[in-house]
Amino acid sequence: MSQEPIRILYVEDDPSSARLVQRILGAEGFDVRVVTDGIAALEAARQLRPALILMDINISGLDGYEVTTRLRSLEELKDVPIIAVTAATLKGDRERALIAGCDGYIPKPIDVDRFPEQVRSFLGGLRERIESPQEKAEYLVEYSRRLVERLEEKIRELEKAHAELQRLDKMKTDFIILAGHELRTPLTAIYGYAQILASLPNLPGSAEEEGTPRYLVHQVIQATRRLSQVVD
C-alpha cells in the first residue's frame, strides 16, 4: 500500500509564487494545497490538518501575522509548524513573524535548490527562535500594540456598520409609514366600492359560488381588509 503524501498548506495570494512552490514541492512528493486569503486559511487548516503550513505574511484582508496567531490559538493545530515564506521588506520581519507564532522564516525569492530541504528540516522538528530576551520583549510589545490598533480599527468598522444599519432601519420605517399612508386612501376607496357592489340585491351569484360576480366582490372585500391590517 502506497503511503499518503505529506500534506502542506500554502497561504499565498500571488498565483506565480503558488505555482512555483507547488511545482518544486510536488516534484519531491509533497501534496501542496493553496489558499489565497486568511479566512480560507483558517478553514482549510481545520479541514485538511496539514503537516506544515507555509504562510505568506503580506496577504490581503487578515494578514499572515493575524492568521498565524489565530491558528496558534486552536488546540488541534497548536503543534503544526508554521513557516513564514515572504519577501523581507523591513528590518525585523523575521522576528515579527516568530513573535506572531511562526516557527521559521524563509525569505523570498526562495532558493529553488534549498527549498525542499528547508521544508524537510521544519517537518523534522527545526524551530527558529529569537535568542535575545530583550529583543524578544521589544518585538512582543510592538506586536501587542499592533494587535490593539487592529482591534480598535475593527471596533470603528463595527460602529460604522452599526450606524449604517440604524440609518437603513430608519429609512425602512419611514418608507413603511409613507407607503401605508399612500395605500390607505385607495384601499378605503376600493373597500367602499366593493361594499356598495356587495349590497346590490340583483348582483348575480353568492359569496360561496366561485367565479360569480358576488363571489369575486366578496374576495375583493376580504383581500382589502387583509391589506388594511398590514398597512395599519
- Count CB-CB contacts under 10 A for residue 159: 10
Q: Are residues 29 and 89 in the same domain?
A: yes
pTM of the model: 0.66
Range of the domain at 196: 167-231
What ranges make up the beta strands (E) of 27-172? 31-35, 52-55, 82-87, 104-108
Domain termination site, one of 114, 129, 144: 129
What is residue 7's three-state secondary structure? strand
What's the helix, strand, coil split of the chain in %, to 5? 60, 10, 30
Nearest Cα neighbor of 143 from 69, 42, 83, 88 is 69
d(CA 58, CA 113): 24
Q: 133-147: per-residue pLDDT in tens? A: 888 888 888 878 877
Instruction: Note whether 94 and 28 are same-domain residues.
Output: yes
Mark the ranges of the chain whose per-residue pLDDT is less than 70. 1-2, 89, 176-185, 187, 191, 193, 229-232
Query: Which one, of 75, 76, 136, lies nearest residue 100 by Cα?
Result: 136
DSSP annotation of 149 reads: H
How many domains does the chain divide into? 2
Determine the pLDDT at residue 224.
76
Residues 119 and 191 in one domain: no
What is the pLDDT, as a whole number, of residue 180? Answer: 64
- Same domain? For 201 and 115 the reply is no
In a domain, 181, yes or no: yes
- Asked if the peptide bond before residue 109 counts as cis, ω within 30 degrees of 0, the response is yes
Which of 82, 112, 129 corresponds to the end of one domain?
A: 129
Distance, CA of 165 to CA of 182 (rounded, Å)? 25
Asked if 116 and 39 sit in the same domain, the reply is yes
